[in-house]
Amino acid sequence: MNSYRTVTLACNNDVIRTCKAAIRSGKTGSICHISRGVASLLTRAHASVPRREEPPPVSDSDKRPNLRAIDLARKIRHEKQRGNATGGGSDAAVLNPSVPVSQLQKRVIELRQFTQQLQNVHPNVLAKHLHRGLILPHPELAVVNKPYGVSVQDGSSNKNNISDVLPILAKMVDGIRAGSRLHVCLGLDKETTGTLLLARTEEALDYVQNLHKNHQVERKYWVVAVGVPVPSEGVIDIPVIEREVTGAQPHFKMGLSPVYRVSDGGEGVTKVRANRQAQGAVTQYRVLDSSNGCSLVELQPITGVKHQLRVHMAYALGSPILGDHKYSHWTKLAPQKLPDGVLRRLGLEQSKARYLPLHLHARQLTLPEFKGQSDITVSCPLPKYFTSTLRRLQIPIPDE
């Protein structure tokens, strides 16, 4: 096209100059002849200019915009969530309500929301949650209702823990007062919920830990048990020891180390030598209520051995705590096996029993005559998943 413009301009200039010369000489008749010659020249020039090639048609695939990194990340995350939903997970259904889900999937979603909502949140969010349920029974003490699945001390994972958010919680309690601190007095396991005692001074921390060392702190736990213990109340006095379990999945867990065994004739018991590594463990228990093959049991540990309550319930009473996937089997690590009737009541299938959380709640704590004053007793309400289970099993919650 540029060549055509150049030829045209050149020809126009020549025509103008030729016409001017013809006019000055009086040869006006030659102008028409010149014009016809220029016209033929323009026609030849235009014919000699190569035609511009049209670009090839664009296919549908070429019309797609370039994929940005953020778009690719979103696509991968969406596909992963959709895969989890079809493979037994339910994240896609949570994010996209239009995804059809069954009653079983809804139940799994409910359990996961109950138990995982505070494990990966910002520390400020966890601190605010603890502050909402904060109890100040004494100027030197504080009590929080520990949520499920959050460690008290710093663990191996990168998830939240209570100790790391205590400085934030202290500022919420005392404002910007200099030297404001909170200390964990008595810890709880990651899967245990309920009363977590904090000290606001180092003096109070030492005082409470000394009471605990002398077995003067009274702690009561509520558990949902699979089965009904017989007799309905009593004292379990069986030492506990950590053992290695061999097999396809070698692991360590706590187990019973009894000092008595049933005699060969089955009439009476015989005392055996105690294992030096065993730790004395004593637990008082009483059944508060029962229904549909499960029971609500109150436990009061006299000693403080690791996993003492879980071991005594599973191996001494034969009624493991609901959701205790570690101590429901001895030789393997597997989800808890539940009776069909219990599964129906809970709205689950056996393949989804692994989503059941441990139903172990630190209900109440009593400090006797704290620093010469009267006894201090505090209690924390049950978590939502705990009350939901009791409602499904038709076990009434005591008024206390």
Lowest mean pLDDT among 179-188, 258-267, 277-286, 384-393: 258-267
pLDDT at 374 over 70: yes
CATH number, position 336: 3.30.2350
CA-closest candidate to residue 361, choices 319, 322, 305, 329: 322
Mean residue pLDDT across the chain: 82
For residues 311 and 254, the answer to whether their CB atoms sit within 8 Å is: yes
The reply to whether 189 falls in a domain is no
* pLDDT given for residue 179 in this prediction: 72
Q: What is the mean pLDDT of residues 95-116?
A: 75
CA 343, CA 11: separation in Å to the nearest integer? 97
User: Quick check: 9 pLDDT over 50?
Assistant: no
For residue 399, the model assigns a pLDDT of 79
pLDDT at 98 over 60: no
Q: Establish if 255 belongs to a structural domain.
A: yes
The pLDDT of 15-42, averaged and rounded, is: 48
To the query of whether residue 340 is one of the catalytic residues in this protein, the response is no
State the pLDDT at residue 56: 57
The model's pTM: 0.74
211 located within any domain: no
Specify the 3-state DSSP secondary structure of 188.
Answer: coil
Three-state SS string over 23-43 comes to HHHCCCHHHHHHHHHHHHHHH
| Statement: residue 220 has pLDDT above 60 | yes
Give the total number of structural domains in the chain: 1
Report if residue 13 sits inside a domain. no
Lowest-pLDDT choice from 59-73, 89-103, 336-350: 89-103
Residue 146 inside a domain? The answer is no
Catalytic, out of 91, 164, 189, 289 = 189
Q: In the structure, what pLDDT confidence band is assigned to residue 174 with cuts at 50, 70 and 90?
A: confident
Instruction: Dump pLDDT digits (tens) for 297-318.
Output: 999 999 999 999 999 999 999 9
Q: Alpha-carbon distance 208 to 36, whole Å?
A: 117
Query: Residue 141: which H helix or E strand, with range?
Result: strand 141-146
* Residue 241 CB-density burial (10 A; 0-12 exposed, 13-18 middle, 19+ buried): middle
Q: What is the pLDDT of residue 34?
A: 45
Per-residue pLDDT tens digits for 256-300: 999 888 777 777 787 888 888 999 999 999 999 999 999 999 999
Q: Which residue has the higher pLDDT, 38 or 240?
A: 240
Domain presence at residue 185: no
Confirm whether 365 is domain-assigned.
yes
DSSP-assigned letter for residue 117 = T
pLDDT of residue 67: 60
C-alpha closest to that of 185 among 197, 195, 167: 197
Is residue 350 in some structural domain?
yes
Instruction: Say which residue, 95 or 52, is predicted with more confidence.
Output: 52
For the stretch 120-168, pLDDT in tens is 889 999 999 999 989 999 999 999 999 999 999 876 566 789 999 999 9
What pLDDT does residue 242 have?
95
- Residues 248, 250, 253, 258, Cα dihedral to 10°: 80
Query: 254: domain range?
Result: 216-375
Q: Can you read off the two tokens belonging to residue 97?
A: 């309500």
Share of the chain above pLDDT 70, in %: 75
Which of 158-167, 170-179, 335-344 comes out lowest in average pLDDT? 170-179
CA atoms of 30 and 15, how far apart (whole Å): 12
Question: 176 pLDDT exceeds 80?
Answer: no
Centre a 10 Å sphere on the Cβ of residue 207 and count the other Cβ atoms it contains: 18
Give the chain's radius of gyration (CA, Å).
Answer: 40
The single-letter DSSP state of residue 358 is P
Non-local CB neighbours of 55 within 8 Å, separated by 6+ positions: none
Report yes or no: 112 and 146 within 8 Å, Cβ to Cβ.
no
Contacts of 9 (CB under 8 A, 6+ apart): none
C-alpha closest to that of 303 among 205, 370, 365, 217: 217
Query: 142 with 200: CB under 8 angstroms?
Result: yes
- Parallel, antiparallel, or unpaired for β 251-256 and 294-301? unpaired
